[in-house]
Chains A and B, each alone.
Chain A
Amino acid sequence: MGIDFTVLSSVIAELASFDVILMLFAGVIGGIFLGSLPGLSATMGIALLIPITFGMEPVAALVLLSAIYTSAIFGGSITAILIHTPGTPSSAATAMDGYQMTLRGEGLKALGTSTVCSVIGGVVSAIALLILAPPLAQISLKFSAPEYFLMAVFGLTIIASLSTGAMIKGLAGGLFGLLVGLVGVDMMTAYPRFTFGKAELENGISLIPAMIGLFSISQVLMQAEILHSAKKKETVVVELKGKVFPDKKDWLKIWPTVTKSSVIGLLVGILPGAGGDVASWVAYNEAKRGSKNPENFGKGEIEGLAAAETANNAVTGGAMIPLLTLGIPGSAATAVMLGGLYIHGLKPGHELFTQNANIIYAVIIGLILANILMGIFGLTMARQVVKVASIPFYILAPVIIVLSVVGSYAINNNMFDVYVMVAFGLIGYLMRKTNFSTAAVVIAMILGSMAEIGYRQAIVMSKGDVLAYYFSRPISIILMVLIALALLTPLLQKWKSRKGIKV
């Protein structure tokens, strides 16, 4: 299904219409805006716009939806970097180092790096969608329950590396997250676990309100305490004169991470059921493991920011691969896009790339253009947007609280989620006061249920011989080796250095 150059001219003709260009701009600007507000995610933006696209031409409609998708994931990082309020779960990992950079006065650099990395991740994945869609879709089908289980476990090892120096506290945070993930109707038996007769708890505790509480509300409470005690006025030095574009030195440093994270994001993206939230943490973990100075991660390391930002946008094109080739969406947002495809009479599969080639290639090229446009907006806006970080806290705090409440409510149109957000805000505040890691809770919530479902499905699929089943699957073996490496490397290093001292 490679690129057929005879369709190229018709693709250009499709793209060169006023409607398409208008939708491209609308999607990028709207997406960045939506994404930057906590609780308003790419998925929701796409879902709400689908009815509006009924009357549009298919190319314009799908360019709008895919532009929103990629831009919202980028937009979520802006608030994560500037005010420690991830706009979407995909940006939680971004907040780790991005916000520390802002505190150090490098907000502008963080925004610029985030923009450039997002564009690279997005463009790489869109190009993969353009030329490698069929083979990558087949890879996505090779991932089954055991692989999901192992991948989740692999992701969970990051909790250990996040909590260097305070291992017990890190693990406790992780266990708390896993415990939270147990709430809800059991997938395999439909047994209501810890639901206390509340229908709202049957789908489990929603990730987004919990994350908003743990990251944003706890942040507001911490800042409010500082402001109240007035021991020191909050002084975030905002670098207004610095460069937006990362300089050559930084560039050389992050380049390998960006490459690696693009691949990680793309691969996680093609898997149904794993999106930007998983990809950003896996990439972050990998960047930290491969780094010369892993101790800087979480303290404003540009590599950590670059890893998370590249990976979460590389998911977008990846997630559209199984969507367009197999009709199996690779993430929540693309699941909603599937409905949009059908409404325009576009059926995923081979036909889409042959009979409707002019439409679908126009959409893919549109996605590349959307990423570039997103980069242009991101870089030009950065100098203005970064000023958010210098807004006095007493103005910013109520705004964050209002956005958090509205965002939590908007996810399911339910007050219950607002209470969840408040509860997790308090938990997050207490955790941070006592030096527990709130990120560990979020990671465990994202990956815990994925691990549990994969583990239990695999037991049924193995028809009794679980070990043989795992070892008969090549991807499983690779993942097991990766997990072993992730767990053993720090021990080996310690052992080596100890030996070194003795000798």
Chain B
Amino acid sequence: MNLRKRNMTKIMSSVALSCVVFTSSVFAEEYPAKPISAIISYGAGGNTDVGARILFPNVEKELGAALTILNKPGGGGWVGWTNLLNSKNDGYTIGYINTPNLITGYLNPLMKRDKSLEDFDLIANHVTDYGVISINKDEKRFTNIKELVEYAKANTLTVSTTGANGDDHIAMLKMNQKFGTKFVPVHTKGSAKQRAAIQGGHVDVGFSNVGDTNNAHKNGELKVVAVMAEERSNFLKDVPTLAESGFPGVVSWSARGIAAPKGLSAEQLEKLRESFIKGMNAPEHLKKMEEMGLQVDIKTGDDYKKMLMDEEQGVIELKPILGW
């Protein structure tokens, strides 16, 4: 009984002490003075979520505050982004923004969203996953990107994508627009089914991303014939870019980075940017992301803004084809 009492006193006093520490730190001037919530617009265990969970411990060290992940999946990401935009812009709620879903989500008039990039304070880009074009490993009609494009000009070819209006679909439409290919989309629910469709030969061509396709290419389960990027990918060094194969002008990616609802103070924004950049450059973060097959692509400030603006422009140019 006595022992229990003594223990209780100990616990109570330590609770009281931590309360004092906590409140005093809240009233301190320095930002951040309490944990920061990070909204992830996709489910726990998805690529964005896992990437964040790898990154955040490194950022927390720089920031001196905890980053608490809140998964808010739904609406192709827009449940989370609506939540983020409706949060207080006091620097204690940030979130991942994923393109092109963010951009197509507000540009699509059907969705009736009066939002834009202007509603966010951009902190830093984290990952850019470029698009790839792949074919079945036993494909005979075409074996490289040149033959594929030639064949697709004369014949209708089915293409598996990871979803309507996603980056794969948009890249496919751009190909049709620029090079006169006759690709028709077969949309699937996510990368597993997208890849099963091309590996099983259910469709003629697959449009996907480096991150979820490079391992299958290395294993010879499918053949990546082109990367839709300015440069070859570190994860697919043997695969040419579209431009070097003679098809310039189609670059596709899905990117994700950190943003906050507009209106953070300059100091807060600076602190967040600095901490995230340092955290992203931490070797253990880079190593784990490499194992995941994800291309860390650190951009901040105007660079990040320009990247997103360019992407927005790309979607705007496709409005007639998308029927918007």
Contact = CB atoms under 8 A, between A and B. Distances in A.
Contacts of A413: 70-72
Contacts of B165: 190
B79 interface: yes
B112 interface: yes
A92 B193 CA distance: 25
A348 B186 CA distance: 25
A101 B221 CA distance: 48
A203 B43 contact: no
Given A47-B45, A199-B78, A343 B291 contact: yes
A335 B192 contact: yes
Interface in A334-359: 335-336, 339, 342-345, 347-351
A179 interface: no
Contact of B163 (A187, A192, A197, A347): A187
A202 B108 CA distance: 14
A177 B72 CA distance: 25
Given A50-B50, A140-B196, A348-B215, A187 B187 contact: yes
Contacts of B202: 144-145, 461
A46 B44 CA distance: 9
A256 interface: no
B215 A347 contact: yes
A296 interface: no
B200 A141 contact: yes
B72 A412 contact: yes
B79 A414 contact: yes
B64 interface: no
A44 B190 CA distance: 18
Interface stretch (A115-123, A158-166, A323-331, A485-493): A323-331
B241 interface: no
Interface string B162-201: 0111000000000000000000111111101101110111
A200 interface: yes
A412 B189 contact: no
A47 B49 contact: yes
Interface string A421-464: 00000000000000000000000000000000100010011010
B86 to A, nearest CB: 11
A191 B288 contact: no
Given A47-B44, A349-B221, A200 B79 contact: yes
A48 interface: yes
- Which of B199, B202, B293 has the most CB atoms of chain A within a 10 A radius of its CB? B202
B73 interface: yes
- Which of A191, A199, A201, A326 has the most CB atoms of chain B within a 10 A radius of its CB? A199
Nearest to A338: B192
A312 interface: no
Contacts of B164: 185-190
Interface in A18-47: 43-44, 46-47
A298 interface: no
A205 B323 CA distance: 27
B192 A328 contact: yes
A191 B165 CA distance: 10
A321 to B, nearest CB: 13
B292 interface: yes
Given A44-B44, A192-B110, A199 B74 contact: yes
Contacts of A348: 215, 219
Interface string A271-283: 0110000000000
A336 B42 CA distance: 12
A197 B73 CA distance: 16
B291 A339 contact: no
Contact of A342 (B199, B203, B221, B291): B291
A69 B20 CA distance: 42
A144 B136 CA distance: 14
A242 interface: no
Interface of A: 43-44, 46-48, 50-51, 54, 140-145, 185-192, 197, 199-203, 272-273, 322, 326-329, 335-336, 339, 342-345, 347-351, 412-414, 453, 457, 460-461, 463
- Please provide the 10 A-B residue pairs with the shortest distance between their CB atoms, ordered closest to farther: A47-B45, A336-B45, A141-B200, A47-B44, A202-B75, A199-B75, A349-B219, A190-B164, A144-B202, A51-B53
Interface of B: 43-47, 49-50, 53-54, 70-76, 78-79, 82, 108, 110-112, 156, 158, 163-165, 184-190, 192-193, 195-197, 199-203, 215-216, 218-219, 221, 288, 291-293
